[in-house]
Amino acid sequence: MRPPRKRPWIVAVAVAALAAVAWAAFTPVSFGSREEPFEIPKGTWARRMAGNKVEILPSHVYLTLGIRDVLLLKNLDDVPQIFGPTLMMPGQSFRLPFEVASSYQFACTAHASGQMTVVVDAQPDTPWRRLVWRTRRIFRVVA
């Protein structure tokens, strides 16, 4: 009877996968700042008026309570911009904190579509939630 063949690479991959899962589950999620900043650059309105398709802000912005839960918009353009009912003057910023996990719809003239959705996730405060949060984040980045 022949002894089973050892496949060290399978063991190595399994260990690495387990380590990655353990890291994703047990390492606390943190960012340098709780603010997620977006800038409407100078010339956005002019480029749009010239017929160019200009997408500055993503159609979906993802925030997480307790970690990154403040939306910071800066209007660096020469004309006022509307974010939701918020009329931002040139050079003005708007800082919007969120305290409830939910999905928020806003009208936004900085978007060609005129719409923006802010999805606020609950704080990933347990290993399972951290794992789910990180997995979801990977899918969102890839998508």
CB of 43 to another protein, least distance (A): 21
Q: How far apart are CA 48 and CA 113, in angstroms?
A: 12
Residue 40 or 96 with smaller CB distance to another protein: 96
**24-43 residues near another protein, rule: CB under 8 A:** none
Matching residue, tokens 């399972």: 128
Question: Token pair for residue 90?
Answer: 């040139």
Instruction: Return the residue of 43, 76, 92, 134 that touches another protein, per CB under 8 A.
Output: 92
# binding residues, another protein (CB under 8 A) = 19
Per-residue b or e along 53-65, where b marks 16 or more CB atoms closer than 10 Å to that residue's CB: ebebbeeebbbbb
Cα–Cα–Cα angle for 107, 142, 10, rounded to 5 degrees: 155
Region of 14-22, 23-31, 51-59, 82-90 interacting with another protein (CB under 8 A): 82-90
Q: Tell me how far the alpha carbon of residue 103 is from its chain's centroid.
A: 13
CB of 82 to another protein, least distance (A): 5
Cα–Cα–Cα angle for 55, 100, 138, rounded to 5 degrees: 50
Q: How far apart are CA 100 and CA 110, in angstroms?
A: 25
**Taking CB under 8 A as the rule, does residue 94 contact another protein?**
yes
**99-128 residues near another protein, rule: CB under 8 A:** 99-100, 104, 107
CB of 71 to another protein, least distance (A): 8
Q: Which residues bind another protein (CB under 8 A)?
A: 80, 82, 84-89, 91-97, 99-100, 104, 107
